């Protein structure tokens, strides 16, 4: 498999729909090589649409052919384009798309505050799927916008650019860049869904204006245990029904404000005493209690079309007594995917957190995370060891390459769909 080049990504995406004229137009290509700097996903969508219309016109002139569909949905178009990109990618490139890192993790220096040659080289060596920026990366609004724009231009495939911007105690932009200050969500719990929507929309608008396209919010955990300190007032409510309504409204607000959003920390970190940043955290509810209570805000967010779900490093014995939720095939594939119907991108919580880092090697956690069903791995302890372990696992047959393709396909479709709007 040849490596995905700027040229192969940007020159053209032919549409290969299931049409009766495939014998005539199996593959259409637009000639000419357009540089990545001049052509983005939105342009690709337009080009593919033009080709499709030309094919329809050609077919319309032939009397003996069955009628072609009058239109092609954006979802189908995005899926076709994703397959084309996927076919051009090496295994290394595909695995790197599943990595979501801080810029320092791939550059080897700290802090990163501009898109320089080190960043360009890092994105060539490890073309990750997303970058998470935090307070040390942010100096001013102008610096942040420039850094993000120039970093995006260096990446062959557009990056997810994220921050933890919940409001209140967990914010990056508000504190460092002076964006609109929003308090912790719990403070607004009795102000209704309009306020939840508007808060999310404001946060998202401020993020989008600087080049961010993803927020690791809203918190869908319910502050159901007064002893819980890690979630606390980050939650929208201590009531399951109220939290569900507010989280649903927030998802719509994030989208209307211009960013993708993430429900966290599945299947619910609000009932734990322990903090998974520091140690293993345990959820002691029964399965029936969990489904009736903790999972309800997640279900509401999924119904509202949340894009990502972040898996908590939580020991939930009623669902899986062997693995934390972030490494559990049962919790990801059965509970989240099957029972709650989530078909978006599943991402781990940060793999540097003690609940994981103290119990697994980078190689072990990489393999377990992918086998469990995660599409993206957030902040692995060692990016080189993580990528190498997954490459070896595929070559040895421990992980089928189609399992990698499955996740990368989701990632590419999300990027094409969102960035093509």
Full pLDDT tens readout for the chain, 421 residues: 556 655 444 433 333 333 322 222 222 222 222 233 334 443 444 444 434 433 333 333 333 323 334 578 888 999 999 999 999 999 999 999 999 999 999 998 889 999 999 999 999 999 999 999 999 999 999 999 999 999 999 999 999 999 999 999 999 999 999 999 999 999 999 999 999 999 999 999 999 999 999 999 999 999 999 989 899 999 999 999 999 999 999 999 999 999 999 999 999 999 998 777 876 788 999 999 999 999 999 999 999 999 999 999 999 999 999 999 999 999 999 999 999 999 999 999 999 999 999 999 999 999 999 999 999 999 999 999 999 999 999 999 999 999 999 999 999 999 999 877 6
φ, ψ (nearest 5 deg) of residue 216: -85, 70
Do 96 and 144 belong to one domain? yes
Do 337 and 386 belong to one domain? yes
Query: Cα 343–271–193 angle (5° rounding)?
Result: 60
Do 106 and 58 belong to one domain? no
Collapsing DSSP states into helix, strand and coil, what is residue 224? coil
Do 326 and 207 belong to one domain? yes
Do 105 and 81 belong to one domain? no
* Residue 96, domain member (yes or no): yes
Whose tokens are 């490494």? That residue is: 327
**Boundary (domain end) residue, out of 34, 52, 87:** 87
What distances in angstroms separate CA 47 from CA 34, 41, 55, 105, 133, one per listed residue? 12, 10, 12, 36, 33
Do 16 and 142 belong to one domain? no
Do 54 and 123 belong to one domain? no
Do 111 and 133 belong to one domain? yes
Using alpha carbons, select from 192, 171, 191 the residue that is nearest to residue 180.
171
How many domains would you assign to the chain?
Answer: 2
**Domain around 52:** 6-87
CB 362 within 8 A of CB 381: yes
**What confidence score (pLDDT) does residue 2 get?**
54
**What confidence score (pLDDT) does residue 421 get?**
67
Do 253 and 172 belong to one domain? yes
Do 73 and 117 belong to one domain? no
**Boundary (domain end) residue, out of 32, 62, 87:** 87
250/89 Cα distance (integer angstroms):
36
Catalytic positions: 277, 349
What distances in angstroms separate CA 205 from CA 51, 178, 208, 331, 414, one per listed residue? 34, 14, 5, 33, 19
Using alpha carbons, select from 219, 407, 216 the residue that is nearest to residue 298.
219
**Boundary (domain end) residue, out of 26, 57, 87:** 87
Alpha helices in 98-221 (DSSP H): 103-107, 117-125, 141-154, 173-177, 192-210
**What confidence score (pLDDT) does residue 3 get?**
65
**What confidence score (pLDDT) does residue 16 get?**
34
Do 164 and 224 belong to one domain? yes
* Residue 1, domain member (yes or no): no
Do 33 and 108 belong to one domain? no
- E strand or H helix at 167, and its extent? none
């Amino acid at each position: 498999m040849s490596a995905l080049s700027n040229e192969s990504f940007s020159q053209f995406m032919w549409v290969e729909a299931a049409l009766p004229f495939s014998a005539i137009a199996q593959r259409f290509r637009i000639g000419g090589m357009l540089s990545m700097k001049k052509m983005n996903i939105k342009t690709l969508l337009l080009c593919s649409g033009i080709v499709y219309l030309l094919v329809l016109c050609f077919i319309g002139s032939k009397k003996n052919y069955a009628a072609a569909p009058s239109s092609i949905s954006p979802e189908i178009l995005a899926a076709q384009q994703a397959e084309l990109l996927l076919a051009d990618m090496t295994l290394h490139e595909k695995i790197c798309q599943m990595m979501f890192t801080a810029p320092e993790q791939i550059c080897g220096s700290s802090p990163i505050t501009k898109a320089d040659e080190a960043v360009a080289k890092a994105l060539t060596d490890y073309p990750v799927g997303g970058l998470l920026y935090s307070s040390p990366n942010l100096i001013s609004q102008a610096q942040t916008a420039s850094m993000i724009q120039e970093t995006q231009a260096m990446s062959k495939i557009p990056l997810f650019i994220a921050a933890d911007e919940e409001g209140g105690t967990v914010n990056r932009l508000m504190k460092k860049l002076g964006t609109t200050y929003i308090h912790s969500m719990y403070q607004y719990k009795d102000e209704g869904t309009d306020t939840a929507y508007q808060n999310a929309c404001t946060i998202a608008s401020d993020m989008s204006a600087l080049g961010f396209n993803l927020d690791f919010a809203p918190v869908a955990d319910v502050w159901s245990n007064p002893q819980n300190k890690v979630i606390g007032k980050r939650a929208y409510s201590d009531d399951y029904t109220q939290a569900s309504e507010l989280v649903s409204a927030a998802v719509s607000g994030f989208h209307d404000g211009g960013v993708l959003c993430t429900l966290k920390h599945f299947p619910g970190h609000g009932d734990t005493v322990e903090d998974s940043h520091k140690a293993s955290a345990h959820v002691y509810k029964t399965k029936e209690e969990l489904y009736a209570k903790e999972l309800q805000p997640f279900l509401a967010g999924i119904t509202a079309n949340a894009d990502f779900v972040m898996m908590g490093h939580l020991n939930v014995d009623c669902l899986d007594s062997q693995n934390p939720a972030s490494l559990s095939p049962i919790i990801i594939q059965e509970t989240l995917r099957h029972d709650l119907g989530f078909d978006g991108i599943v991402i781990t919580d940060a793999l540097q957190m003690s609940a994981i880092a103290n119990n697994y090697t980078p190689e072990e956690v990489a393999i377990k995370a992918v086998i469990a069903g995660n599409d993206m791995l957030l902040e692995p302890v060692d990016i080189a060891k993580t990528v190498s372990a997954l490459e070896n696992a595929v070559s040895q047959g421990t992980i089928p390459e189609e399992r990698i393709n499955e996740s990368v396909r989701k990632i590419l479709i999300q990027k094409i769909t969102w960035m093509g709007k």
